């Protein structure tokens, strides 16, 4: 056999199967979407509400940071100031927890809630609303959190109020 000869080509009619692959790919994709075990309707309500609340808490914290920068280091007296003219937020988002359901309010707290630069969980009202500390001069001034003393479901182990839009170190862990 001559080594310079071209390799054997497939016989006519055997094909490479490319057309069938192209036709079956959309069918496989539709099947995967239809039978997805992780569809939004199947997500546990506790996980869904926790994810919603975390996302909205991050939105409020971002709006507060921008407000703080625009006002040369001042936090608003109330979170509703972030919605004036829809400049920072179109509206105060709802907070959603399993224990309190969907809430739309804001609980304003003073300096007495502050304990060494963190929130004293024993002094919360457990309203299920957003909590906001308006206490100029306090180490907690401008903190926004979920005003809920229940522990976050699905095994995280710490209470809702402890989550303020970013992760904490162990030094800020509240001792019950």
22 occurs within a structural domain? no
18 occurs within a structural domain? no
Residue 134, both tokens: 């308006």
| pLDDT at residue 103 is higher than 70 | yes
Measured distance CA(101)–CA(152) in Å, rounded: 13
17 occurs within a structural domain? no
More confident residue, 94 or 41: 94
Predicted confidence band at 15 (pLDDT cuts at 50, 70, 90)?
low
27 occurs within a structural domain? no
SS3 151: strand
159 occurs within a structural domain? yes
For the purposes of burial, counting CB atoms within 10 Å of the CB of 79, is it exposed (0-12), middle (13-18) or buried (19 or more)?
buried
Domains held by the chain: number: 1
Taken as a whole, the chain contains a residue count of 176
Residue 43, both tokens: 């997500």
CB 152 within 8 A of CB 166: no
Contacts of 30 (CB under 8 A, 6+ apart): none
Residue 133, both tokens: 């500390």
Can you give the pLDDT at residue 51? 79
pLDDT tens, position by position, 163-176: 553 333 333 333 22
CB 145 within 8 A of CB 125: no
11 occurs within a structural domain? no
More confident residue, 155 or 31: 31
Q: Which domain holds residue 142?
A: 44-172
């Amino acid at each position: 056999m001559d080594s310079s000869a071209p390799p054997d080509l497939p016989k006519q009619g055997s094909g490479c199967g490319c057309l069938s692959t192209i036709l079956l790919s959309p069918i496989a994709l539709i099947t995967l979407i239809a039978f997805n075990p992780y569809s939004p309707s199947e997500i546990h309500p506790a996980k869904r509400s926790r994810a919603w609340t975390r996302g909205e808490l991050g939105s409020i914290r971002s709006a507060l940071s921008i407000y703080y920068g625009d006002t040369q280091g001042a936090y608003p007296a109330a979170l509703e100031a972030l919605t004036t003219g829809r400049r920072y937020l179109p509206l105060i988002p709802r907070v959603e927890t399993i224990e309190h359901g969907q809430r739309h309010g804001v609980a304003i707290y003073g300096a007495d809630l502050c304990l060494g630069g963190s929130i004293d969980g024993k002094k919360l009202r457990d309203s299920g609303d957003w909590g906001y500390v308006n206490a100029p001069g306090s180490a907690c001034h401008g903190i926004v959190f979920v005003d809920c003393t229940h522990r976050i479901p699905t095994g995280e182990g710490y209470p809702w109020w402890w989550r303020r839009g970013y992760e904490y170190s162990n030094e800020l862990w509240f001792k019950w």
